């Protein structure tokens, strides 16, 4: 028996395939005789294992626990989706962003441009050390 075909048939019988792959195998079973034989082999091999453990009734609390778990899971997903699709939230964030941009534009436009500053370093031609350092502003002041 082909090794790949054998692995595929065993995974199909055990129920470990994804839903898409399982559907593909079921379509393939109609026309592929070798695959059908491999599936029959694995079913015959694994069927006796079902007789080893007696059937058991689940406890009364099992189904309510499953339902609660599913509802909690849905609630978390619903809360995330609700938050993401909350139009009021996105409108508020947009208004806040626009207000911040408008305030910054106003502050930047009302500030006086920085005054140019000039610095002069006077050095004697034969000396490499600065003699005088003078700073001048456009408001006619010297430092």
Q: Residue 121 above 70 pLDDT?
A: yes
Non-local CB neighbours of 19 within 8 Å, separated by 6+ positions: none
When pLDDT is averaged across residues 134-141 and rounded to a whole number, the result is 69
> Which 8-state DSSP code applies to residue 83?
H
When pLDDT is averaged across residues 116-135 and rounded to a whole number, the result is 73
Per-residue pLDDT at 2: 87
Q: Which tops the pLDDT comparison, 74 or 92?
A: 92
User: What is the Cα–Cα distance from 107 to 117, expressed in whole angstroms?
Assistant: 23
Percentage above 70 pLDDT, the chain: 85
Q: What angle do CA 64, 75, 92 make, to 5 degrees?
A: 165
User: What is the Cα–Cα distance from 108 to 91, expressed in whole angstroms?
Assistant: 26
Among 18-27, 34-43, 54-63, 72-81, the minimum mean pLDDT is found in 72-81
Residue 116 contacts residue 138 (beta carbons within 8 Å): yes
Query: pTM of the predicted model, to two decimals?
Result: 0.41
When pLDDT is averaged across residues 110-130 and rounded to a whole number, the result is 73
Could you tell me the pLDDT band of residue 81, with boundaries at 50, 70 and 90?
Answer: low
Render pLDDT for 87-106 as a digit per residue (tens, 0 to 9).
888 899 999 999 999 999 99
Per-residue pLDDT at 116: 63
Q: Which residues does residue 133 pair with via DSSP β-bridges, in sequence order? A: 121
Q: Which two tokens stand for residue 60?
A: 């009364």
């Amino acid at each position: 028996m082909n090794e790949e075909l054998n692995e595929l048939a065993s995974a199909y019988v055990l129920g470990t395939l994804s839903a898409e792959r399982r559907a593909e195998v079921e379509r393939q079973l109609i026309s592929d005789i070798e695959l059908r034989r491999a599936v029959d082999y694995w079913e015959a091999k694994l069927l006796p294992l079902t007789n080893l453990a007696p059937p058991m009734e689940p406890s009364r609390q099992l189904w309510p626990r499953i339902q609660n778990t599913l509802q909690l899971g849905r609630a978390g997903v619903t809360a995330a989706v609700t938050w993401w699709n909350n139009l009021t939230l996105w409108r508020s964030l947009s208004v806040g962003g626009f207000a911040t941009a408008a305030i910054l534009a106003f502050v930047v436009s009302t500030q006086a441009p920085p005054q140019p500053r000039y610095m002069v370093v006077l050095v004697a031609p034969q000396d490499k050390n600065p003699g005088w350092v003078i700073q001048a502003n456009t408001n006619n002041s010297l430092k």
